[in-house]
Structure 1
Amino acid sequence: MVQEMQNASVSAPGSTECGFIESFVRRYPVRILETLLCDRTTGRNIIWADNEYVGLGDGYMGDDEITVGRITEVNTDIIKPRIEKERERQALRTKSRAEVFTPSWLCNQMNNDLDERWFGRRDVFNVEVENGWKAAVDPVVFPVKKKGRGWHAYVEVPWLEITCGEAPFVCSRYDTVSGDVLPVDERIGFLDRKLRIVNEKTKTKKEWVRRALDALRASFGYEFQGDNLLIARINVFETFCEHYRNRWGTLPDTEALEKAAWIVSWNFWQMNGFTDAVPTNQMGAVVASTLGSFEEPAPKPAQLSLFDMLDGEFGGDPFEDDGVASEGESEITTPLCVIYDWKNNQPIEFAGLKGEVRSMTNERTNERTNERTLLCGNR
C-alpha cells in the first residue's frame, strides 16, 4: 500500500531525502506555512507547549512561539512525524504526555463503525482484513429516501478528533506504524472519506474546490503539543491538495491553497483539554474569556495630557497606582480557545459547545447524526 507521489516531493515520513518541513516549504509559498503556524485565539503563533526542545536554546522554551525561522533552513529537521523520531524520544513523550498513536487499521475500523450508523450498513468505503483493509472500488451509494443522509449532508456534518496528535483519524496520508505513504484512493480518514464523495459527485474544478472546502470546514481537531499540531495541520492541508491532484492532475491554484490553509488554521487548534484554554507553563495562570477582543488594545498615551495632570491635582495622583489596577495587571491569564462557527460566520469559544454539539451540526441532520461529531483521539 505504498505510493510514489509524482511531480512533487511529499512532506510525509520517509518519502523524500529532505525533511518533513523542508519538503513542505519547497512546494508551497512561505505564507502558507505562516498561516498554518497561526493561533487564532491569541493572534500570535502556536507555542511548543513543553520543554522537549529547550536544549536548542532561546526560542525553544515551552511558552515560546513556533516561527518559520525556528523550524526551517538549519533547523529544518527539528519537527518530525512520530515514526521518524528516535525511539528514546518516543518513549519519553509517551510517558510525559500520554502520547500514544493509534494504528491506521484501528482508525479505519473506528471510522467504519461511525459510517455504519450513517449508512445503515458495513463496508461502505472499504472491507476490513486482518490489520488492514481493502478499498471499495464502486461509487458510494447513499441511503434512499432517508432525510439528512444525502451526500451533501455527509460532506458537511462536523467531525472532531480530540487530542489529535498528527490527525490519523482525520487523514491517513501515511501509515502511523510503518510510515509508508498510502495511495489517495486507499485512505481511510474521515476527511479522506468526505473528499472521496466530493470526487465522485462533482464535475468541475470550481465545484470540487467549493465542496472540498466545505469538507475542510466540517473537519476539526485539537492538540496540546505545538509540534504535533503543526504536523496535523500540514497533513490536513496536504490531504486537500493531494485529493485535488489525484482528481485533476495538478495542484490547486493559489486562492484555493490560501483558503484551505486559513480554514485549517481555525479548525485545528492548540488547547489544553483539561482547561479548554491555550496551553501555558505559567504557574497560577487563570483561564479567562477573550471572545470579542481579538483586536489589540489601543496603546496608552506616552505622555500625560493636561486633563490627566488636573485629575492628579484634584484628588488623584496620575503617577500612583490605586492598588486594584496593579493587582489586576499582574494577574497571569490564559484565554479560552476560540474556533470558528462557519455556519453563522462568527468566532465562538469551544468551551461553550460542551453539551451543545447539536448547535454545530447541519440542520438537515437528525439527532442520530450527532453521534458522529465527537471522535475518540490518540490518548
Structure 2
Amino acid sequence: MEKLINIYEYPVSNVLKYLLQDKTTGKNIIFATNAYKDRIPPITELTPITVEVLSGFNEDVLQPRVAKSFEQQAERTRKKAEVFTPSWICNKMNNHCDTEWFGRENIFNIENDKSWEPTMEKIVFEKEKGWQEYVDSKRLEITCGEAPYLVSRYDTTTAEIIPIERRIGILDRKLRVINENTDTEKEWLKWVYRAYQSIYGYEFQGDNLLIARINLIVTFTEYLEDRWRRKATDNELRKVVDIIVWNLWQMDGITGTVPFGKPKEEYHQITFFDYMQGINDIDEEVVDCKIFDWKSNESLTYRSLKEK
C-alpha cells in the first residue's frame, strides 16, 4: 500500500520544521498522546514534536488511523475517544452545507449509497453569490483529527488515494471552483491562498494535527501539479504552510486553551517558592489559543471569536 504520509519526501521534507510550529506558544506543538510511550527514550503527552524526534521514526509510525493496526486504533479510541468518519459521510455532510449555501442540491457530486459520482459540468453561481464569495466563505472542522472534512486525499476506510476529480473535502470543492474560474497561474495562486485562509480546524492530539497539516500541504502541491504541471517553489510552500499552521491549531476544544497549559521551560530554575510549594504542585498556566483573521491581518483568541 502506498504510504499516505511521508515526512522524508517533497513537499513535507522541505517545510517539516515549519509544520510543527504552534503560533500560540511560539514553540512546537506537543504530542498530547501516550501512544508513543514505549519508545526509547519515552515520548510523553508533553513531549514537543520536533524534527529530531521525528527523525527516529520509520515511515510506518506516523500514519493515518486507517493505516494503523486494529489494536492501535482501539487504544486511541479508548483513551482519547478518537473515531474516524468514513469519506462518504464527510461527503454527505459537506453536500448538506453546500445545499444550504447554494439553495439547491447535487452541486459537486451525486450521492450513490456509500459512494458518489462527481458532476462534470462547471459549477453555476447565482448573481447574488459569486464564485469568489464561495471561496472566501469560512468553514471550521472541530476536533479535526486528520481533517477528512477539509481535504480528501485518501479514503478514510480503505486508504485508497482518491483522484483529484473525485475529491469531496471543503477545500477540494473550493479548489475545483478556482480551477474552473481562473485562467492564469498568478490569479490561480491568489485565490488558492484565499481558499486556504478560509478554512480552519483544531485538534488536541499533536500527531493527528501534524497529519492534518501534511494533508493540506500535499493537497496544495497535488492541485498545483495537476493544473500547472510543475512543483511548488520554496516561497510558495512557505506561504501556504504559514496559513496552515495558523488555521489548523492545537487546542483543547472544551477550554479553548493550549493542551496541558503553557509549555514548561526546558531548564527551569527552581526557586525557594517552588520548593515550598512543591515543584509538581504548581498550577498549569492557562493559555488561550490564538488564530488569525486574514481579512483584518491580525491575530485574536479563539475565545474572543466565540464570544462575538
Tell whether the structures are fold-level matches, with TM greater than 0.5.
Answer: yes
Mapped to 1, the partners of 2:251 and 2:91 lie a distance apart of: 25
Unaligned runs of 5+ in 2: 266-270
Instruction: Give the corresponding residue for 2:302.
Output: 350
- Residue 290 of structure 2 is aligned with which of 325, 338, 351? 338
> Deviation per CA, 1:87-121, whole angstroms, max 9, x where unpaired?
01101111211111111111101111110111111
Q: Which residue, 138, 142, 159 being the options, matches 1:162?
A: 142
- State the shift of 1:331 in Å: 4.2
Q: Quick check: 1:213 aligned with 2:213?
A: no
Assess if the C-alpha contact under 8 Å between 1:229 and 1:268 holds in 2: yes
**1:311-340 Cα distance to aligned partner (Å, 9 max, x none):** xxxxxxxxx97x79x98x954313111111
CA distance in 2, matches of 1:30, 1:125: 33
Give the Cα–Cα distance (whole angstroms) in 2 for the partners of residues 29 and 172 of structure 1.
17
Cα distance in 2 between the residues matched to 1:140 and 1:246: 19
Aligned counterparts of 1:29 and 1:190: Cα–Cα separation in 2: 22
Structure 1 residues 228 and 236 mapped into 2: Cα distance closer, same or farther (>3 Å)?
same
Query: How far apart are residue 20 of structure 1 and its match?
Result: 2.3
The worse-fitting range, judged by mean Cα deviation, of 332-341 and 178-187 is: 332-341
Letter paired with 2:51:
V
Q: Percent identity?
A: 43
Structure 1 residues 232 and 243: alpha-carbon distance in aligned structure 2, compared to 1, 3 A threshold: same
User: Deviations for 1:341-373, whole angstroms, at most 9, x for unmatched residues?
Assistant: 1111111100111143xxxxxxxxxxxxxxxxx
Alignment-derived partner of residue 53 in structure 1: 36
Report the secondary structure of 1:152's partner residue.
helix
Q: 2:307, 2:114 → 1: CA distance?
A: 35
SS of match in other structure, 2:157: coil
2:103 aligns with one of 99, 116, 120: 120
Using the alignment, how far apart are the partners of 2:42 and 2:73 within structure 1?
22
1:193 aligned partner = 173
1:131 is aligned, of 105, 114, 126, to: 114
Check the 8 A contact 2:12/2:217 in 1, yes or no. no
Partner residue, 1:20: 5
SS at match of 1:63: coil
Aligned residues: 298
Residues 32, 343 of structure 1: alpha-carbon distance in 2 compared, 3 angstrom cutoff: same
Q: CA deviation at 1:187?
A: 0.3
Q: Does 1:83 align with 2:63?
A: no
Flag the structure with larger Rg.
Answer: 1
SS at match of 2:110: strand
Is residue 166–residue 232 contact of structure 1 (8 Å, CA) maintained in 2?
Answer: yes
In the alignment, the residues of structure 2 paired with residue 239 and residue 112 of structure 1 have an alpha-carbon distance, to the nearest angstrom, of 20
Give the secondary structure class of the aligned counterpart of 1:269. strand
Q: How does 1:56-75 map to 2 (within 5 A)?
A: 56-58=39-41, 60-72=43-55, 74-75=57-58
Report the TM-score when normalising by structure 2: 0.91
Asked if the contact 1:59/1:65 (under 8 Å) is kept, the reply is: no
Q: In the alignment, residue 335 of structure 1 is paired with which amino acid?
A: V
Report the alpha carbon displacement of residue 139 of structure 1 after superposing the two structures with TM: 0.6
2:153 is the alignment partner of 1:153:
no
| Separation of aligned partners in 1, 2:284 and 2:259 | 13
Deviation at 1:31, TM superposition (A): 4.8
CA distance in 1, matches of 2:70, 2:85: 17
Report the counterpart of residue 308 of structure 1 in structure 2. Answer: none
How far apart are 1:59 and its partner, in Å? 5.7
CA–CA separation in structure 1 for the residues paired with 2:240 and 2:151: 15
Taking the TM superposition and a 5 Å limit, the aligned residue runs for 1:1-379 are 14-16=1-3, 20-21=5-6, 24-28=7-11, 30-58=13-41, 60-72=43-55, 74-144=57-127, 146=128, 149-280=129-260, 330-356=282-308
Structure 1: gaps (5+ residues): 1-13, 288-295, 297-319, 357-379
Sort the Cα spacing of 1:32 and 1:254 in 2 relative to 1 into closer, same or farther, 3 A: same
Alpha-carbon contact 1:71-1:77 (below 8 Å) kept: no
The code of the aligned residue for 2:29 comes to I
Amino acid at match of 1:225: Q
CA offsets per residue over residues 244-283 of structure 1, 9 Å max, x none? 1111112222211110111101100001111111112xxx
1:206 to partner: Cα distance:
1.1
Q: Residue 71 of structure 1 contacts residue 78 of structure 1 at CA under 8 Å; is this kept in 2?
A: no
TM-score (norm 1): 0.74
